Amino acid sequence: MWHGHLTEVRQEYAQFVTTIARFEPVHLLLRDQEARATAEQALADVKGVTFHDIALDDVWLRDNGPIFVKDSKGEIRATNWEFNSWGRKYEWDNDNLVPPFVTSQLKVSRYDIPVVMEGGSLEINGRGACITTEQCLLTDTRNPRTGKPELEKILRDHLGFTQVIWLHLGLEGDHTDGHIDTITRFSDETTILTSMTGDTSDINHDRMKHNLAILKAARTLQGEAFKVIELPLPAARMFLEDGTRLPATYANFYICNGAVIVPQYDDVNDGKALDVIRACFPKHEVIGLASRYIITGGGSFHCLTQQQPQA
C-alpha cells in the first residue's frame, strides 16, 4: 500500500500525531494488532492520544470519516455519507463502516445519507460557502445520475451550504479525481489560498491558472470579491517508482486549535509556502513537517484527519 515506504511513513505519521497532540486531543484508529503495537511504541510518551481498534482498508479519514455539523438547536451531529474509494478504485468495505464506529465511540448522533461524498472534495469557510471541483463531484463513478443542481441541493440540505463555487480540474496524478483540499483552501471567511506554478511546461500550470481565474471572478453572497492568494506548488515534480506522478502540494495542511501543520517535501519552495501560509494565519503557529513519504500514498495531512467540533 505504501510502495515499500511503510517504515518511513510511520515515522512521519508519528511526528504528525505528536505535533497535533500539543494542541488538541487525538483519536487514532488502528487497523490490527501490528498497527497498535507500532503506534504504542512510537507514541509511548505522547499524552492526549486515544487508541481505537477497527478494521480499516486505508488511512484517509478525511474522505471516509463522518463530517460533523450542528443542528438548529446547536447540537453536534455527524453526517455519514457513502464512501466507495474514490470511484471504486480500491477496497472500501471496511472504510465505509468507520462513521458508525466513530460516532458510537464518541457518543455523537449521526444521520446516514445515501450519496457518495468525500470530505476532501469539499472546502468550506464556515459561513455557507463551499468550493469543490467538477472533476471530482461530477465523475460517473460516484453519483452518475446526479448533476450540479441536484448536488448543490444535497449539499445545502445536509451541510447547510448556501453557495457552491465550482473549479474545474485538480492536480495531475491525484487518484481522488481532483480533490479540492490538494489545491485550494480557505484561511478565513473571505480569503482563499490556491495552488499555482510558474512552470508553463507543467500540465498543472494551465489547470491551476483556470481555477485561479474562476476564484478571482467569484463573489460572496454579499457581492464582494474574495481575497485570492497564490500558494506555490513544489518546484520539483515527484513520482513513484513506476512513473506515476504524485500530487505533492502545500495546500493539504491541517488546521489545529492554534496551529497550522503544513507538509514539506525537501523542496526549494517549502519555505516559500510556509511564508505564504504564515501570513494568512497570523494567530496560528505554522509548522512544517515532513511528508515526503506520506505523499507516496496520494495524500497528506488534511487527508489523514477529520476534525470534531467541541460540544
Residues classed as catalytic:
303
DSSP, residue by residue, 107-140: T--EEEEEEE--GGG-EE-SSSEEEEEHHHHT-T
CA distance 81 to 120: 13
Three cell numbers written together for 181: 483540499
CA distances from 265 to 149, 175, 235 (A): 39, 19, 10
Angle between helices 6-20 and 33-42 (to 10 degrees): 60
Look-up: residue for cell 463522518?
Answer: 66
CA distance 135 to 74: 34
CA angle 137, 218, 194 (to 5 degrees): 70
DSSP, residue by residue, 189-201: SSEEEEEE---TT
CA distance 155 to 148: 10
CA distance 275 to 298: 24
CA distance 188 to 191: 5
Three cell numbers written together for 265: 517535501
- How many residues are present in the chain? 311
Do residues 288 and 253 touch, judged by C-beta distance below 8 A?
no
